[in-house]
Amino acid sequence: MALSRQSADAASISRLFHHHLYELSRGVRALFLMTLSRSELEVVRAKLQAQGLDYFVQQLSPIKANLFFGRPAFVAVARALVTRPLNALTAEEDFMLGTLLGYDCEQQCRRFLARSSRAELAELPPAAE
């Protein structure tokens, strides 16, 4: 049972990674973040190297890592911002990283206001759906 779950997880990671590559090639997004196990990381890293794509790894633990990859300028900025755990980033760093990753801009603005304890958040109308 554990083996089939492990192979299903590997297939899911592979599909997600290839979808990210498709989005990158089409210009949909320019920076991606995947949290991977060490074995998954080695497989994905080899594929990135084979395609000449820029990336960097943020070690989370002996068995997990964050992998950032995409267009070189975006990866360079992410590398400069991500110098500590993601939950320890400042509100400004979190905003910039989320924006670079292509997260919804309005949600990023609201998140920034909430994390930076700005009073303007209370004055905003609810987010449009």
Domains of the chain plus CATH, in order, are 2-82 (3.30.2190.10), 89-129 (no CATH)
Long-range Cβ contacts of 36-45 (<8 Å, 24+ apart): 36/64, 36/65, 36/66, 36/67, 37/63, 37/64, 38/62, 38/63, 38/64, 38/65, 40/10, 40/13, 41/65, 41/67, 43/14, 44/13, 44/17
Model confidence band, residue 7 (pLDDT cutoffs 50, 70, 90): low
pLDDT value for 125: 76
Within 10 Å of residue 91's Cβ, how many Cβ atoms? 15
pLDDT value for 122: 58
pLDDT value for 11: 84
Tell me the whole-structure pTM to 2 decimals. 0.85
